[in-house]
């Protein structure tokens, strides 16, 4: 990693130092990934992206090309990931940016993910959700209403799509793939209660934690404590989870 860090731009080094600090407990930590691991390369490429102004398309391109960033954030570090979908349909009217399927002893889980630019402001000076965050919250609320109306059908449809994907490292044309034998996905999903219990959550990835004021950090924490299935994560959180050592896969 030291050699890779030396190739980072000056702005990226600043972001790196913001993320890899004693506050996160990574420097000198045995939980940090090996310096030469592919996941560390994912992390450093994300760091470089966060160091410059960009567009949502750039963020989407990076996560499509380096899906482990999202798999580690939404697939539980312990393992259990079974499929990764790019641009999955949510009913007939909506399209998410990404979907992650996984199973653990907590049951089957489907994460639908909405990306907003990493340089978006989460809140206004008055403490209200900014334009990008407000739009994203309305969008995922629409997904939630659609899923609640026809959960069994829509979940089965997404699972069926996952069964037709190539197994990683092969990918479909849009970058989607299965992480186990595709023809076993349906059985595994059902075995962990995927058809019995509504098991979908929604996440908005937007902005930077380190660029929030203390007041706005409190507001974000407050929003994420609400008893619903819509969560807001910053790109800092995605980067943080990218360099924590994986424990094992057990399913």
How does pLDDT run across 137-177, given as a tens digit for each residue?
A: 999 999 999 999 988 889 999 999 999 999 999 999 999 99
Helical ranges in the chain per DSSP H: 2-6, 10-19, 38-50, 56-65, 68-74, 131-149, 151-163, 185-191, 214-224, 235-242
Measured distance CA(47)–CA(164) in Å, rounded: 33
pLDDT score at 189: 94
DSSP character for 26?
-
The answer to whether residue 221 sits within a structural domain is yes
Question: For 129, phi and psi rounded to 5 degrees?
Answer: -55, 135
| Count, residues in the chain | 251
pLDDT along the chain (251 residues), means of 10: 66 86 47 60 91 89 94 73 95 95 89 96 95 96 93 91 96 96 94 87 95 94 88 92 57 35
State the residue range of the domain holding 139. Answer: 2-242
Our count of domains for the chain comes to: 1
pLDDT score at 31: 46
The answer to whether residue 248 sits within a structural domain is no
- Whether a cis peptide bond, with omega within 30° of 0, leads into 169 is yes
pLDDT score at 27: 43
pLDDT score at 129: 96
Measured distance CA(42)–CA(49) in Å, rounded: 11
Measured distance CA(235)–CA(72) in Å, rounded: 13
pLDDT score at 76: 58
pLDDT score at 106: 83
Measured distance CA(182)–CA(178) in Å, rounded: 6
The answer to whether residue 146 sits within a structural domain is yes
Which residues, 6+ apart, have CB-to-CB distance to 116 below 8 Å?
56, 132, 133, 136, 204, 205, 206, 207
Buried b (16+ CB within 10 A) or exposed e, 201-237: bbbbbbbbbeebeeebeebbeebeeeeebbbbbbbbb
The answer to whether residue 184 sits within a structural domain is yes
pTM: 0.89
The answer to whether residue 123 sits within a structural domain is yes
The answer to whether residue 250 sits within a structural domain is no
């Amino acid at each position: 990693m030291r050699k890779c860090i030396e190739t980072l731009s000056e702005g990226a080094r600043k972001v790196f130092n913001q993320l890899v600090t004693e506050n996160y407990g990574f420097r000198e930590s045995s939980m940090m990934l090996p310096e030469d691991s592919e996941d560390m390369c994912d992390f450093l490429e994300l760091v470089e992206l966060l160091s410059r102004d960009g567009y949502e398309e750039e963020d989407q391109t990076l996560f499509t090309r380096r899906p482990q960033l999202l798999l580690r954030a939404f697939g539980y570090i312990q393992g259990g990931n079974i499929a990764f979908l790019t641009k999955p349909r949510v009913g007939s009217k909506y399209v998410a940016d990404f979907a992650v399927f996984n199973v653990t002893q907590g049951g089957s889980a489907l994460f639908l993910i909405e990306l907003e630019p990493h340089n978006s402001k989460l809140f206004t000076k008055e403490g209200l959700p900014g334009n990008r965050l407000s739009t994203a919250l309305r969008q995922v609320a629409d997904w939630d209403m659609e899923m609640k109306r026809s959960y069994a059908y829509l979940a089965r449809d997404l699972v069926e799509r996952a069964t037709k994907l190539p197994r990683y490292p092969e990918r479909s044309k849009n970058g989607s793939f299965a992480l186990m034998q595709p023809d076993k996905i349906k059985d595994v999903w059902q075995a962990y209660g995927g058809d019995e219990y509504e098991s979908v959550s929604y996440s908005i990835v937007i902005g930077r934690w380190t660029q929030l004021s203390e007041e706005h950090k409190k507001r974000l924490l407050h929003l994420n404590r609400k008893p619903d299935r819509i969560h807001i994560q910053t790109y800092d959180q995605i980067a943080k989870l990218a360099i924590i050592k994986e424990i094992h896969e057990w399913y």
